Amino acid sequence: MQLTLATDDTGGPEIFASLQGEGPSMGVPVAFVRLSRCNLACVWCDTAYTWRFEGDNRPHRDTAAYDRKANQVTLSPAETAERIAALGQNRLVITGGEPLLQAGALAAMLGFLPDITVEIETNGTVAPPVRLDIRVDQYNVSPKLSHSGNPADLALIPERMDAWAAEPRAFLKFVIASPDDVAEVLELQRRYRFRPGQIFLMAEGTSTAVQRARQDWLAPLCLEHGFRMSDRLHIHLYGDTRGT
């Protein structure tokens, strides 16, 4: 059983220490591991190198296609865990791509890291199996709205939305590109009865200038509707770069 990871700028596995840039743990020192492959295709995805390989014609605004061999690397769960442990952090963020596509190998990896606190960043379409779920302390769920370009029947699966609404470890983080997107979030909140404080709104953008411009109108909407707002701290600190 192997894990398929994304690569950093050196061609090695994208395993690194940083500050969590988004959501409820923003600013917390963590270890990151970024897995490759995704079952969705967001037109604005800032990690398209994890899924949009040559021959994949799913739309993306940059139209870039990545060489699979140069952007994927496989490691055993044990070796992946060893590299994570060497970073010396007590909290781990598993991101992607869509990490839950590799749930079995992730569960095996976490068996080598019994004392680490675990966050999983997921698009919310895949149910975590019990053998992995028992090791997860926090789910950062990012359901994809219509502006992502994904069909709703693939991105917003009712039984999965119901499950996340009832999951006390789950936070819902919605990417917002225009004020109209907030109306879509309000309808999802009404339909699935997401808990107060469970919803974060985060401006889409890969530069500080775009983030700040969108936050100018997003902040009042968060205040009006009682939503929490997430920044993208890593963008301000490091730019739109791998391994940060």
Do the domain assignments include residue 243?
no
Ramachandran category for residue 44: left, alpha or beta (phi over 0 → left; psi -120 to 50 → alpha): alpha
Count: domains in the chain: 1
Tell me the pLDDT tens digit for each residue of 176-189.
Answer: 999 999 999 999 99
Tell me the pLDDT tens digit for each residue of 197-236.
Answer: 999 999 999 999 999 999 999 999 999 999 999 999 999 9
Do the domain assignments include residue 75?
yes
Do the domain assignments include residue 77?
yes
In this structure, the strands spanning 29-34 and 15-19 are: antiparallel
pTM for the full model?
0.96
Parent domain of 89: 3-238
CA 4 to chain centre: 16
Single out the residue of 66, 72, 55 nearest to residue 2, CA to CA.
72
Hey, what's the torsion of the CAs at 16, 48, 63, 71, to 10 degrees? 60
Quickly list H helices, 140-240. Answer: 152-155, 158-165, 179-192, 208-225, 233-238
Asked if residues 155 and 123 have their Cβ atoms less than 8 Å apart, the reply is: yes
Confidence of residue 63 (pLDDT cuts 50, 70, 90): confident
For the segment 163-184, the average pLDDT, to the nearest whole number, is 98
- Degrees, nearest 5: CA angle 67-49-9: 85
Do the domain assignments include residue 64?
yes
Residue carrying structure tokens 């769920």: 141
- Residue 64: pLDDT over 90: no
Looking at residue 74, its pLDDT comes to 98
C-alpha R_g of the chain: 17
Q: What are the backbone dihedrals phi and psi of residue 54, each rounded to the nearest 5 degrees, phi first? A: -55, 130
Compute the distance between CA of residue 142 and CA of residue 120 in angstroms, rounded to an integer. Answer: 11
- Degrees, nearest 5: CA angle 59-164-101: 50
- Degrees, nearest 5: CA angle 39-43-48: 60
Q: What are the backbone dihedrals phi and psi of residue 127, each rounded to the nearest 5 degrees, phi first? A: -80, 130
Single out the residue of 175, 9, 63, 124 nearest to residue 52, CA to CA.
63
Asked if residues 200 and 121 have their Cβ atoms less than 8 Å apart, the reply is: no
CATH assignment at residue 177: 3.20.20.70
Do the domain assignments include residue 149?
yes
For the segment 45-68, the average pLDDT, to the nearest whole number, is 92
